[in-house]
Amino acid sequence: MAIFNRIRIGNLKNVKRFFRWPSLRVGILLILLIILFTANGILWYLYYFSNKEAKESKLEEPQKQWEISLNENPVDESKLREEYSLNTEEKKEDMQRQSLTAPDKNTASNQTASGEKKKDVELSSKKDTEGETAELKVTADLNVMSLPVTGKIVTEFSKDTLVYSKTLNQWCAHKGVDIQADLGTPVKAALAGTVVEVKTNDPALGVVVVIDHGNGVKTLYGNLMSDKLVKKGMKVKKGDIIGGVGNTAPYESEDPPHLHFEVIKNNESIDPQQFFKNI
């Protein structure tokens, strides 16, 4: 028993002596530091990835909503046409009648000066008579206008209203009418006159021919197939072939083959369809 007691006492002394060593204290400190740094690293790792997943989920949600809104709410072009239509047919007809009956600037100025002298009155009344005669002649000429090409009107005149353009992908005014016909269908002069302009590559209407009929009236034929049939200064009769239906207009390239036809009076475009009623 005495021997075992000595061994126990000796072991306790050795243990106490062992924990007093500086190297052991340093080792324990290092182990504690390693444990702390490891725990800290694990915490930062978990924090970083949890925040990353949250950010990614926030970025994905608006994108999904945007994609769904595009698929579920397509644009209805017919509704847009009705919504952006600015004038009724009655208002359009009133404006057309006003454009035909509006007096020339020279006539208006002569009427204003008619009260100064008797001679001026006679001159102004004479000019008024001439202006009225010319106006009646213009109206008469337009009323005997012939169709430049036989076909279906696919785009109407819209000076003060908006028409949707598939090519431009926007709403815009349309100064003439588009008459759909087969490619190469002959295009005829609507009235007798003189060819005053031939464009080979107009940036909007491609191949263009303009005919002057006198008294401030011109007709324009766009989107033609070729410019070889007429030349500037050439006299044409009503019904003469001046070209063929083409597909050369950059601004109307998405539309089927057609003739772009305009009627211009005193440098202002008017609706050609009001004269088609008499044909």
**What is the per-residue pLDDT across 150-162, written as a single tens digit (0 to 9) for each?**
999 988 888 777 6
CA 199 to chain centroid:
24
| pLDDT reported for residue 29 | 80
Does residue 36 belong to any structural domain of this protein? no
- Three-state DSSP state, 261: strand
Host domain of residue 201: 149-271
Q: Do the domain assignments include residue 18? A: no
**163 domain residue, yes or no:** yes
Number of domains in the chain: 1
- Burial class from Cβ neighbours inside 10 Å (0-12, 13-18, 19+) for residue 142 reads buried
- Residue 97 within a domain: no
Place of tokens 């491609």: 206
Is residue 138 scored above 80 in pLDDT? no
* C-alpha–C-alpha distance, residues 6 and 82, integer Å: 111
103 in a structural domain? no
For residue 181, what is the domain's CATH number? 2.70.70.10
pTM here is 0.50
CB atoms under 10 Å from CB of 242, counted, come to: 22
- Of the given ranges (126-135, 143-152, 166-175), which has the lowest mean pLDDT? 126-135
In a domain, 31, yes or no: no
Is residue 9 domain-resident? Answer: no
Is residue 261 a part of any domain in this protein?
yes
